[in-house]
Amino acid sequence: MGKIIFYEDRNFQGRSHECSSDCADLHPYFSRCNSIQVESGCWMAYERPNYMGYQYFLRRGEYPDYQRWMGYNDCIRSCRIIPPYQGSYKVRIYERPEFGGQMMEFMDDCPNVYDRFRYQDIHSCNVMDGYWLFYEQPNYRGRQYFMRPGEYRRFSDWGGMSPRIGSFRRITDFNCSADQWILQQNVLIQ
């Protein structure tokens, strides 16, 4: 279904560890992560064990250093495979915790939440269909949050440090390589 290889050093050197399923604690296998190869599937890598801390979305391709996956440091401690999905997409966002205040429903990508929702913060959401990536800043930049179907009653439920969400998009093309993904996003931003 998926395969990812983590390397301690840049350019796929040093000690390595291969995963083909979710792993809540990678620390026993390597002390730092400076490069990654995604041979198949889409993955989320996490800075801390148990899918906590900074989150990084990874598609098929090579990441020769942690800056290539927009990493803040060389620390990866857990990973999760994103299952293939080909159905409809739907998310409801709310201005207050516990699904309170103004609500808006989306079925497509949103490059600027404030332009569409008129609020800079999202305090809760309900992912009804599909897998989504939330970003702290507009135009798919900044910290990332992987959103699976389910209820998120407050921003801390998705690992957020604050309710600030600037953009979000559907995870749709599971066969697209990392370089194709970056190119597609640059075209969308321009």
Q: Which of 82, 104, 122 is the last residue of a domain?
A: 82
Calpha distance 47→29 (Å, rounded): 15
Looking at residue 151, which CATH number applies to its domain?
2.60.20.10
- 104 and 158 housed in the same domain: yes
With beta carbons less than 8 A apart as the criterion, state whether 31 and 75 touch: no
- Longest CA–CA separation in the chain, Å: 51
Per residue in 113-144, pLDDT (tens digit) is: 999 999 989 999 999 999 999 999 999 999 99
**Same domain flag for 132 and 70:** no
Residue by residue, DSSP assigns 107-153 as SS-BS-HHHHHS-SB--EEEEEES-EEEEEETTTEEEEEEE-SEEES
Which residue shows structure tokens 């497509």? 108
94 and 43 part of one domain: no
Residue 7: strand, helix, or coil: strand
Q: Average the pLDDT over 86-107 and give the result.
A: 97
Q: 0.85 exceeded by the pTM?
A: yes
Q: Are residues 74 and 134 in the same domain?
A: no
Number of domains within the chain? 2
Residue 98's domain comprises 90-170
Domain-located, residue 187? no
Whether residue 7 is found in the same domain as residue 78: yes
Structure tokens at 158: 């998705």
